[in-house]
Amino acid sequence: MANATEKSPQEETVRLLAVLIRLLLPTQNAAILELNKAGFSPTRIGALLGTSANTVNVAIAKAKKNPIARPRARLSAAQPAEPREES
């Protein structure tokens, strides 16, 4: 039987991904919003990011009240390269 303090491999993976999200995004609020969009509850987000569920709820409420326009990636087709002249 596993020790009560040991985490399952799935839990460890989730925690590592949460750390990666936090490191890649510029702010904790951005990480909170991304995890919220992924379907995590405020309690779970707080546990993953090391903050309280109340902090998470406040960040989500502020984002809903004052949504900011996020820059969108341009996914237009790439221009074909010009043929090079051989010398």
Say if 50 falls within a structural domain: yes
Candidates 59, 26, 25; CA nearest to 42 is 59
* pLDDT computed for residue 73 by the predictor: 44
Total domains, the chain: 1
Q: CA-CA distance, 87 to 10, in Å (whole number)?
A: 57
Say if 38 falls within a structural domain: yes
pLDDT of residue 76 exceeding 90, the answer is: no
Q: What phi-psi label fits residue 50: left (phi over 0), alpha (psi between -120 and 50 degrees) or beta?
A: left
The tens digit of pLDDT for each residue in 16-62 reads 888 888 888 888 999 999 999 989 999 999 999 999 999 999 999 99
Number of Cβ within a 10 Å radius of residue 11: 10
Say if 72 falls within a structural domain: no
Candidates 43, 41, 50; CA nearest to 23 is 50
Say if 78 falls within a structural domain: no
